[in-house]
Amino acid sequence: MTNQRNDGTNNRWRLAIIIVNYRTADLTVDCLASLAAPATVPDGTCVIVVDGGSGDGSAQRIASAIDENGWTNMACLALQENGGFAYGNNRGIEYAAERFGDPDYVLLLNPDTVARPMSIIMLVGFMDNEPRAGIAGSSLEHPDGRKQACAFRFPSISNEFEGEAKLGPITRLLDRWRVVPEMPQKPSRIDWVSGACMIMRSDLLHDVGLLDDRFFLYFEETDFCLRAARAGWSCWHVPQSRVVHLVGQATGVTRYTRPARRPPYWFQSRNLYFLKNHGLLYASLANLAWLCGHLVFRLRVVIERRQSGLPPHLLLDFLRHVGLGSRRGLSP
């Protein structure tokens, strides 16, 4: 990583990478090491790690790792509170602009990721060649190369039902609305991409603003991509840009072994997304669709006499935090 700017005038940075850390210092340092490796990020890249009030010495450990390794153009911003993913990224974007200047692009990157060689360079190159692309996401994968779902359709009444029912005939009937579509092996337009590795054009940020701070965690990138789409910007999945994602290591919510109980903020963020973008009636119908699909799946589990594999207390938590017509999570 060097100090060279993209235009040779030292007036504008190429890329600002924002990483929000909360008590995952070791993962964050590994992520920074991958970014510092040769041929990973373009020249003119700065990296801001935002520590969300970890209170466990994370900020000091990350700052020390940056100094000890001589990683240039990296900095750690220590916040006093954990305001969530959107809040942390917003403060990082503002800090990067103040300290390094306004970049061409901003990349949101999870601390539980490892950038493969050329991954970020390819992502920036794609944005250079698609001037109306406001957002793009990398292909996320496990360390062994297995692909993860990372490009999606916007949530709707149809896919809330299909996603919970998990039943072949229903999936085939509602295939065109499925949240996770089949993705081709070339860059393709999509509704929204995972915030684990999402690049956005600075012009888009000036157009639609920063992420919505009311989302503590989850659905903030979905909401942002919808705002971008409504403003006329496109969103793309770029499979040639490959980034390892250690799923759930940063939050503990998503696991591939034993599912964790979903925290209240997941339900609150989901409710906020539907209420904010579609109104109370649509949100109520989406909740009803989720509930019906969930009951269909539970009936199937009983008939087949097998384990559901669902997070503990999911139905009870849904009814407690969401309900059919709740306005929880929506504030001025």
Which residues 6+ apart lie within 8 Å of 251 measured at CB? 217
Residue owning tokens 């539980």: 112
- Cα–Cα dist 31/238, whole Å: 20
Q: What is the pLDDT of residue 240?
A: 97
Tokens, residue 146: 């297995």
Span 11-18, average pLDDT:
89
Q: What is the pLDDT of residue 327?
A: 59
Q: Which residues pair with 219 in a beta bridge?
A: none
Q: What is the pLDDT of residue 257?
A: 55
DSSP 183: -
Contact in structure between 179 and 270 (CB atoms under 8 Å): no
Question: How high is the mean pLDDT of the chain?
Answer: 92
Q: What is the pLDDT of residue 252?
A: 54
Which residues 6+ apart lie within 8 Å of 179 measured at CB? 152, 153, 155, 159, 162, 163
Q: What is the pLDDT of residue 184?
A: 83
- Cα–Cα dist 219/152, whole Å: 12
Q: What is the pLDDT of residue 187?
A: 97
- Cα–Cα dist 54/258, whole Å: 25
DSSP 149: -
* The amino acid at 39: A
* The amino acid at 153: R
- Cα–Cα dist 270/223, whole Å: 10
Q: What is the pLDDT of residue 232?
A: 97
Nearest-5° angle of CA 188, CA 20, CA 33? 80
Q: What is the pLDDT of residue 6?
A: 41
Compare 256 and 106 and report the one with higher pLDDT.
106
Among 3-7, 26-30, 34-38, the minimum mean pLDDT is found in: 3-7
- pLDDT tens-digit series, residues 176-226: 999 999 888 999 999 999 999 999 999 999 999 999 999 999 999 999 999
Rg (alpha carbons) of the chain, rounded to whole number: 20
Report pTM: 0.92
Query: DSSP characters for 200-259?
Result: EEHHHHHHH-S--TT-SSSSHHHHHHHHHHHTT-EEEEEEEEEEEE-TTTTTSS--SSSP
pLDDT at residue 305 is higher than 80: yes
With cut-offs at 50, 70 and 90, classify the pLDDT of residue 258: low
With cut-offs at 50, 70 and 90, classify the pLDDT of residue 12: confident
Q: What is the pLDDT of residue 326?
A: 55
- Cα–Cα dist 89/94, whole Å: 9
Contact in structure between 118 and 61 (CB atoms under 8 Å): no
- pLDDT tens-digit series, residues 262-284: 999 999 999 999 999 999 999 99
Among 135-144, 242-251, 313-322, the minimum mean pLDDT is found in: 242-251
Span 172-178, average pLDDT:
93
pLDDT at residue 243 is higher than 60: yes
Q: What is the pLDDT of residue 153?
A: 97
With cut-offs at 50, 70 and 90, classify the pLDDT of residue 332: very low
pLDDT at residue 293 is higher than 90: yes
> Regarding the domain delimited by 13-153+190-245, which CATH topology (the fold level of the hierarchy) does it fall under?
Spore Coat Polysaccharide Biosynthesis Protein SpsA; Chain A (3.90.550)
Kind of pairing between the strands at 133-141 and 197-201 = antiparallel
With cut-offs at 50, 70 and 90, classify the pLDDT of residue 259: confident
Give the residue range(s) of CATH 3.90.550.60 domains in the chain: 13-153+190-245
- pLDDT tens-digit series, residues 82-135: 999 999 999 999 999 999 889 999 999 999 999 999 999 999 999 999 999 999
Helix, strand or coil, per DSSP, at residue 108: strand
